[in-house]
Amino acid sequence: MPLTDSSETRFLGLSSEAYEHPIAQTAVTALKKIPGYDLFVKKTYGLISEPSIRLWYVSSSVRASERQFSTLYKILQDAARVLDAPKTPEVFVVNRSDVNARTIGMDRPIIVVHSALLELMNDAELRFVIGHELGHALSGHSTYQTLLEFLENYAISSAGAISAGKAAGKSEPVIDVAFTITEGVFVRALSDLSRKMELSADRAGMLVGQDLHAGIRALMKLAGGTHLHEMNTEAFLEQAAEYKLDSGTFSQIRKLRMLQRLSHPLTVMRVLELKKWVDEGDYGKILEGEYALRREYKRSAGGEVYKVAGQTRPKLTGPQEQLASESKDSDKRQDRRVTYDRKQTQNKLTGP
């Protein structure tokens, strides 16, 4: 498939709501209902230096462009065109032997691709992977992922410091114990959300690649490596069905324990969920133009999507944007209250 095939459907004004998996949306709702969520995220967000994250990749990896990793760069640009991304994230290639790609950052997400993944995927499969990562960026998933990675790294460093303190005969401060317990609650919730967000991003990858077989091949390669000629799609789907049918009580417990150790959903389930989305017609509806629009877009009576004059796109939805919005609303209410109190005081002093 050509890198910029004009015959591919472009989704003008597409909202990430169009491809979000229901269980990912449920997980976000559950996360936000945890007592102290807003305060905890606000405090943690203030500890993260996004410029430092980007500086690390600028200094220690290779940024894709028209002159470096040009095929990868073209695929990203085309993915942004298909999903009508308002902003295209930078993509960096790191020299890593594990097959992976991820999207991190908050206000300015970046995509990081491991060199081993580039060696494993062909262009069509890479389109699925890059579409997957771009879906993370457009949905604001990278904010949650960055928070999760920060908390996991903090937990490791804290555990080391506590062990060293105990060895030196020092007691653990109560505030550190309280924070560690709170942190553990959010790490588990964010880990669960992170796995479920992968199912949403797989759908975005499908919208970019528009090739189910390429998407399944990419996932099979993640499971079985380079020997695709030794793999069979139908046999892999049968394997996935076997996993799903094994639904006894003890099997469910074993599955849950397996998932808790993983950063991604099990590969067989990702394949089943992606195929189900296509087979049940939801993917086809989006191809036909039936999808949720971003706030600044409208659909005419004839079905044509157009941008509303004077409207600007809101920032990507993530916890930090929500908190900032709530803070601004609170400030406005306070300003109105102060103005009202002043008027009341002035009326009392001057009289009728």
User: In the block, which residue shows the tokens 């970046």?
Assistant: 110
- C-alpha to C-alpha distance for 38 and 17, rounded to whole angstroms: 22
283 with 297, same domain: the answer is: yes
Strand, coil or helix: what is 154? helix
- C-alpha to C-alpha distance for 31 and 23, rounded to whole angstroms: 12
Rounded mean pLDDT, 71-88: 97
- C-alpha to C-alpha distance for 248 and 245, rounded to whole angstroms: 9
pLDDT digits (tens, 9 = 90+) for 216-265: 999 999 989 888 889 998 999 898 888 777 776 666 666 666 666 666 67
196 with 328, same domain: the answer is: no
Residue 142 lies in a domain: yes
User: In the block, which residue shows the tokens 């459907």?
Assistant: 9
Residue 259 lies in a domain: yes
Range of the domain at 343: 318-352
Contact 299, 305 (CB under 8 A): yes
169 with 31, same domain: the answer is: yes
Would you state the pLDDT for residue 344? 52
| Segment (H or E) for 138 | helix 123-139
Contact 148, 96 (CB under 8 A): no
User: In the block, which residue shows the tokens 């905890």?
Assistant: 40
300 with 350, same domain: the answer is: no
- Residues 6 or more apart whose CB falls under 8 angstroms from that of 125 comprise 209, 214, 215, 217, 218, 221
Strand, coil or helix: what is 94? strand
pLDDT digits (tens, 9 = 90+) for 169-210: 555 544 454 445 566 788 888 988 999 999 999 999 999 999
- What b/e readout covers 113-135, taking b as 16+ CB neighbours within 10 angstroms? bbbbbbebbeebbbbbbbbbbbb
Q: Using the predicted structure, report yes or no on whether residue 4 has a pLDDT greater than 50.
A: no
342 with 198, same domain: the answer is: no
Would you state the pLDDT for residue 251? 66
Residue 1 lies in a domain: no
238 with 138, same domain: the answer is: yes
Query: Given the DSSP bridges, would you call strands 110-114 and 90-94 parallel, antiparallel or unpaired?
Result: parallel
Would you state the pLDDT for residue 303? 82
- 7's tokens: 């015959």
295 with 328, same domain: the answer is: no
336 with 284, same domain: the answer is: no
96 with 55, same domain: the answer is: yes
Would you state the pLDDT for residue 262? 63
Would you state the pLDDT for residue 180? 53
Residue 145 lies in a domain: yes
Dihedral sign of CA atoms 144, 150, 153, 155 in order: negative
- C-alpha to C-alpha distance for 61 and 55, rounded to whole angstroms: 10
255 with 343, same domain: the answer is: no
Residue 101 lies in a domain: yes
Residue 195 lies in a domain: yes
Residue 2 lies in a domain: no
Residue 232 lies in a domain: yes
Q: Using the predicted structure, report yes or no on whether residue 7 has a pLDDT greater than 90.
A: no
Q: Using the predicted structure, report yes or no on whether residue 111 has a pLDDT greater than 80.
A: yes
Q: Using the predicted structure, report yes or no on whether residue 126 has a pLDDT greater than 60.
A: yes
Would you state the pLDDT for residue 314? 47
248 with 345, same domain: the answer is: no
pLDDT digits (tens, 9 = 90+) for 138-173: 999 999 999 888 888 775 555 444 454 555 555 554
Contact 196, 148 (CB under 8 A): no
- Structural domain total, the chain: 2
Rounded mean pLDDT, 316-344: 50
Q: What is the pTM of this model?
A: 0.78
The helix-helix angle for 212-224 and 267-279 (nearest 10°) equals 170
Q: Going along the chain, which residue ranges are E strands?
A: 62-63, 90-94, 101-104, 110-114, 297-299, 305-307
304 with 277, same domain: the answer is: yes
- 79's tokens: 């993915």
